[in-house]
Amino acid sequence: MTDTCCMDIKLNSNRSRKYSIFFVIVALLIILLNVGASIYYIITQAASLVTVCNPFSAKSTAVQIFFVALNSIEMGAWIFPVIFLVALFKILSDQFTSYTNVFCKMTKDEGKNVWQKMKDIRLKHLQLCKAVDILEQDTKYLIAGNYVTNIFLICFIVYQMVASNSAVPVLGYITFSIWLVMNFSIMASLSITAAQVNEEAHSSLQYIYDVEMDEVSRSEALQIQLFLSKLNGPAIGFTVMGLITITKEFILTLAGFILTYLFLLLQFNI
């Protein structure tokens, strides 16, 4: 769609490319760290590889190389979908931010004349919202899968660390700690970037009240009402299986649940 008022709102391909490169580098560094940890584990804990390598010989070099390669592939399958979602959310969040900045500038520079272009402004925002709706049809399953697996793993790891009664060796605690940080980081990055999309999608609301309504025609007033109803309506953003939209309030609720679980474990040492 081509319009006359929002030509400044366009996809910054250079910034998107930088985001993509940055997140891919982060994913590769995580995979390399995991490969290094696997090699260190093989060198220092070779006797414990029997469980991992069964039914093959744990002393076989070929089996150990296969174990490292398989572990790196598993890590890639775990981390790259999350990296894709985070990059996607960040790009969409920037698009809404650019839209809001242009709209804010228009309300300050053009004053009451901005309502003459309200139809184009509303349609541009609606275009971005439709993009979110289309992407959300697929991402909601990935998001739900990430939340279910990461919350379960966080609860399991915390339980193992708290309720083990010092039965876990130091290396085991280090492994559990790294695993726990990874799960927290994945869930936090996914939640924060998704919540930013929701926050930026509704951020135009604070500026629309600055629009002067003198001499507004009925058609232009209708466009403003439609824009307001969209901004004040159901939350715009990505959901967990279409049930809960990821917002800042949702993140606080999730953090409260995990902290409550941790304090209960510490209190009763289950």
Mean pLDDT of successive 10-residue stretches along the chain, which has 270 residues: 49 75 89 82 64 67 81 86 92 90 80 73 90 92 92 88 70 80 91 94 85 75 86 91 92 92 78
Give me the domain span that covers residue 265: 81-269
Specify if 52 maps to a domain. no
CA distance 82 to 143: 9
- Domain tally for the chain? 1
Q: What is the pLDDT of residue 14?
A: 76
Specify if 138 maps to a domain. yes
Specify if 69 maps to a domain. no
Specify if 101 maps to a domain. yes
Specify if 259 maps to a domain. yes
Specify if 55 maps to a domain. no
Specify if 31 maps to a domain. no
Specify if 37 maps to a domain. no
